[in-house]
Chain A
Amino acid sequence: MHPLLTRRSYLGAYLAVWVPLACLLVFLIKVSGGIGILEATVVVVPMAVLFAAACLSAWYTCRATPLRSSGITRVFGTHLVAAFILSFLWAQIGRLFAHALSTSPSFLGLGARYDAHFAILIVSGVLLYLVNVGFFYVLIALEASRAAEARVLETSVLARDAELKALKAQVNPHFLFNSLNSISALTSSDPAKAREMCILLAEFLRMTLGLGEKASIPLSEELSLVHRFLAIEKVRFGSRLQMTEEVSEECKTMLIPPLLLQPLVENAVIHGIANLPEGGSVRLAAACQSGRLSIVVENTFDAEATPGHRNGMGLANVRQRLEARYPKLASMRVAPNATLFQVNLSLPAEPREEQS
């Protein structure tokens, strides 16, 4: 859509600018002699209106030849050719108009006198057109910078949003309440175990809060957070929760965004194990191969017991964070079947830099 045609006020302003231009044109014709001021006005005013409309088309040629990406010859060539063609046509139409007018007794011989100004009209037409071209390039630049600003704002809002959600997802309040309930049960029956659990919970919370501030951490650190989480849940679920882990030493030094796996493991427990009366197991595996780090979080689950609940906040959050961190370089695949729920992550392997 042409920007000047989007609002009536824009078009009004554009046409208002053409009023002094038309006056200038009348003056030019008058001083170059042979044509009276009245005759000049009668001929030039409708022509100015016509040209004002015709010059709007310069917007499209400007858009088609962006300053940044087109060569200088192409920019000048395009606009000069367009200016000449349009001005010539315009002067020709004016000429037909002047000749038509000269049939009336009050404008006798106007046609012939107009012809004497033909060259001046073409030159001024070309100049006016080029002024328009310049104006439209400024408009395009303004529009582009506004769009860029909006884009920057949008991405920063998105990033902030993802960060906030990540922070919120860090500690599930129900996890806390359930753990506190377990502790309160243990205080009388097994005080040593209660103390152990307090310490596990404190370590888990401290690590969660600390890790959130870092940009990336070695997989080993994330794993020790996950271990604490599972140790706490193990107190709650007892033998219902089983755990296996296959992570090579090499993988443990790879860097990942903090709290990437914890929500996945939490999901595995809450939506998987917690829904199985007989319990189940969570498997965590990581492998590095040809510059990629693949991580699998897998749990037994009952597809019928948890309809719709699985693709919740946690998974969406991990996906978003991966996309923000490794645009187009990371992937997350969720593959549930009847008894196993598997989440596969694949991201660029970033070895930890040796500290000097």
Chain B
Amino acid sequence: MSTASEKKIDALIVDDEELARQVLRELLQTHPEIQIVAECVNGFEAVKAVVAHKPALMFLDVQMPKLSGFDVLELIEEDVAVIFVTAYDQYAMKAFEVHAVDYLLKPIGRERFEAALERAKKRIGEKMPPVQELVTAARPPQQYMERLVVRDGTRVTLIPAAKLDYVEAQDDYVALATQGAKHLKQQTIASVEAGLDPARFVRIHRSYIVNFERVVRIEPYGKDSRLAILADGTRLPVSRTGYARLKALLDDRV
């Protein structure tokens, strides 16, 4: 893959506008050390391309249809140095919170671009904290997730929060149950809980968060514990504190 004399840096360009991709392509022409391995026109393609090419560097647009640049970051596990490229300056804070290398504003000038590339080269190879947790943490307070994004191999699924039945913790992963299917995602149950609207989702157990609207009844189950029966017949354990939370939410609603 790499010759002894020079090692190329694999880069990915992600933008839904052809002309925006063209600008980046042109700016990179004077940098033979950077090799564009793929250009992607949306977030779904970007996720696939990251898995397929494992690039070291990614130029990432923020505003794209369905999957935003931030969604893409949440879905990839690979260590990629990210340079955001956008016409919107309001995401700059959030970009640096997810440890982006730089944040370029369109239209992009040559000097600013070179500076970003220099920073990126220094960053490549450094170990980054897991970005999924950072993305969740960077969400503005009091604003809950309207949808969740999960990836299975290269297939990306969007789950609207309203369609989420329950969340189950499984070691390092969480399983998101929706309409009979379960989607695995590498995230802690606590950070999922933090992103969900507490008026609709309740942590009923150390390992379970349930969509309140799916619960049809609660049954006693042994000493000090109960079972929540969901509309589709699923039975989930309810701890004593979980039961107290359910009751508190119920009281709020009545």
Q: Which A residues are closer than 8 A to B by beta carbons?
A: 174, 177-178, 180-186, 188-189, 235-238, 274-277, 302, 304-305, 307-308
Contact = CB atoms under 8 A, between A and B. Distances in A.
Interface string B103-130: 0011110000000000000000000000
B63 A274 contact: yes
B23 interface: yes
A21 to B, nearest CB: 61
Contact of B87 (A174, A183, A276, A305): A174
A305 B66 contact: yes
A203 to B, nearest CB: 20
A132 to B, nearest CB: 54
A189 B107 CA distance: 16
Range class of the B interface residue count: 20 to 34
Interface in B15-49: 16-20, 22-23, 26, 41-42, 44
A174 B91 CA distance: 13
Contact of A177 (B65, B87, B160): B87
Interface in B193-240: none
- Chain A binding site: helix, strand, loop or mixed by DSSP? helix
Given A275-B66, A304-B158, A177 B105 contact: yes
B173 interface: no
A275 B107 contact: no
Contacts of A181: 19-20, 23, 87, 106-108
Interface in B63-111: 63, 65-66, 87-88, 105-108
A275 B147 CA distance: 15
- Chain B binding site: helix, strand, loop or mixed by DSSP? loop
Given A185-B19, A276-B65, A277-B42, 10 more contacts: A177-B87, A181-B23, A236-B19, A274-B63, A275-B65, A275-B66, A277-B44, A304-B147, A305-B158, A308-B146
Those 3 A-B pairs whose CB atoms lie nearest each other, nearest first: A181-B106, A177-B87, A185-B19
B192 to A, nearest CB: 18
B26 A188 contact: yes
Nearest to A175: B87
Nearest to A307: B146
A305 B20 contact: no
A88 to B, nearest CB: 60
A276 B66 CA distance: 7
Nearest to A237: B17
Contacts of B18: 238
Contacts, number: 62
Contacts of B41: 277
A182 B17 contact: yes
22 contacts: A174-B88, A177-B105, A178-B87, A178-B106, A180-B107, A182-B17, A183-B107, A185-B22, A185-B26, A236-B19, A237-B17, A238-B18, A274-B63, A274-B65, A275-B65, A275-B66, A277-B41, A277-B42, A304-B158, A304-B160, A305-B65, A308-B146
A184 B65 contact: no
Q: Which of B63, B88, B106, B160 gathers most chain A CB within 10 Å?
A: B106
Given A277-B44, A304-B158, A182 B65 contact: no
A16 to B, nearest CB: 55
A199 to B, nearest CB: 17
Nearest to B45: A277
Contacts of A275: 65-66
Nearest to B43: A277
Contacts of B20: 181-182, 185
B160 to A, nearest CB: 6
Given A274-B63, A276-B65, A277-B66, A184 B146 contact: no
Contact of B106 (A180, A277, A308): A180
B23 A185 contact: yes
Contacts of A302: 65-66
A341 to B, nearest CB: 15
Nearest to B159: A304
Nearest to A176: B87
Nearest to B19: A185
A235 to B, nearest CB: 7
Nearest to B85: A181
Contacts of A174: 87-88
A114 B88 CA distance: 90
Contacts of B87: 174, 177-178, 181
A353 B158 CA distance: 54
B24 to A, nearest CB: 9
Contacts of A308: 146
Contacts of B23: 181, 184-185
Contacts of B158: 304-305
A305 B19 CA distance: 24
Contacts of B160: 304, 307
Contacts of A177: 87, 105-107
